[in-house]
Copies of this chain bind each other. A is one copy, B any other.
Amino acid sequence: MTAAATIARILADPRFRDAVATMEREHDRTVADIVALTEIPSPPFAEERRAAAYLEMLRGHGLEEVEQDAIGNVMGRRRGSGNGQTVVVAAHLDTVFPAGTDVRVRREGTKLYAPGVGDDTRSLAVNLAFLRAMDAAGIRTRSDILFLGDVGEEGLGDLRGVRHFFLKGRHRDKVEAFFTVDSPDVDRIVTGGIGSKRYRVTFRGPGGHSFAAFGLVNPAYAMARAMLTLSALAAPDAPQTTHCASVMGGGTSVNAIPNEVWMEVDLRSQSAAELARLEAEFLAGVEAAAAAENAARSTREGAVVAEIRPIGDRPAGHTAPDAGIVQLATAAVAAHGFTPRHEYSSTDANIPMSLGIPAVKIGSGGRGGRGHSLEEWIDVEPVESLRGMSASLATILAVAGMEEA
């Protein structure tokens, strides 16, 4: 059966219609859950309170094996009829916003304004709505579905929640497919994970008086050389590959050769091989830059040394366009009147993609914008919201194998 036919059959199934009707009936509850969860701050590396609240919600929805793992992820299982093969439906608990950010939700008509409301708090609530809808409609699946609220998706969190889940978690060998429900828009299906490597490089030298110690090595010149080397590294359009010297600082006084300067760099690629090539060239360039400075000026008081510290490492990966999960997501989105697009991005799905596990990012429905800004908003207008939720639920059920009535 084609993906489109599979989706069509699900959409025509009275139980699926019943499930959507449940979501429609319970829409206010879903919105209330979005507000409640959004107003529990969940800064990077401090997701504990929201995780505890979500754990109780998962428990309250009757899941089995509700638990929190060692890294802080919370999860629970909806048993399938099969042998325990598992489809993960995840949303991330963390936001980009630091502790102290005002996370109260402001409502204007059908729009909700609050930091983190769309990325990714809405998805946490929507996944619960999926669960209630399946239960109310008596829908069973062949695969188990593991609902996951994971930590550390954003920024320096560096995907640590999902990384732990797949590298050390007890469910890792059973996962046959992975969805991250992340942000509202359902038309943008993320099928590729941009790999990234981030470094903070500190160049240290002896320092000294700008006049009296003139002629000594200057770590700023080593850094400048490393930057220019980076700027000239190959960055193909396909697979898309980029590099950037982003943030920098150092030195103490205008009349002193700096003791220490530093920079942060961001390296990315759609291709793991390209990223590895880029990383190797960058790291070699750093060492060569320090060596060039040590050759250009005096090291009698000490040489310039570069300290290279990784501050981010997200694996590249992708799910092939002809993989079932991509075909089914695409068909479900199209069947709901959207124009599906396949994109590369950096999401929780990077991890399973890098491990060869079928994975995509799908949407929580409705509209939204200004993610990662204090003006972040979503629209919970019911018709548009339910259209997107229906598309994502159909995708999940198709991949998990909705049982015949």
A372 touches B208 (CB 8 A): yes
A228 touches B228 (CB 8 A): yes
Chain B residues near A167 (CB, 8 Å)?
none
B227 touches A245 (CB 8 A): no
Give complex CA distance A71, B30 in Å: 57
Give complex CA distance A334, B225 in Å: 47
Counted per complex, copies of this chain come to 2
A250 touches B253 (CB 8 A): no
CB within 8 Å of B: which of A352-405? Answer: 370-374
Give complex CA distance A398, B311 in Å: 62
Interface size class on chain A is 35 or more
Contact of A268 among B206, B211, B252, B296 (CB under 8 A): B211
Q: Does A8 contact B (CB under 8 A)?
A: no
Q: Does A69 contact B (CB under 8 A)?
A: no
Of A14-22, A127-135, A259-267, the segment with at least 4 beta carbons within 8 Å of chain B is A259-267
Chain B residues near A213 (CB, 8 Å)?
372
Q: Does A249 contact B (CB under 8 A)?
A: yes
Give complex CA distance A365, B195 in Å: 60
The smallest beta-carbon distance between A187 and chain B, in angstroms, is 14
Chain B residues near A210 (CB, 8 Å)?
242, 244, 246, 266, 268, 372
Chain B residues near A207 (CB, 8 Å)?
372-374
A252 touches B221 (CB 8 A): no
B255 touches A154 (CB 8 A): yes
Map CB proximity to B onto A240-258 as digits: 1 under 8 Å, 0 otherwise: 1011111111111111111
Q: Does A337 contact B (CB under 8 A)?
A: no
Q: Does A312 contact B (CB under 8 A)?
A: yes
B220 touches A256 (CB 8 A): no
A214 touches B252 (CB 8 A): no
9 contacts between A and B (CB under 8 A): A97-B252, A208-B372, A210-B246, A220-B248, A224-B245, A228-B228, A245-B258, A246-B258, A254-B266
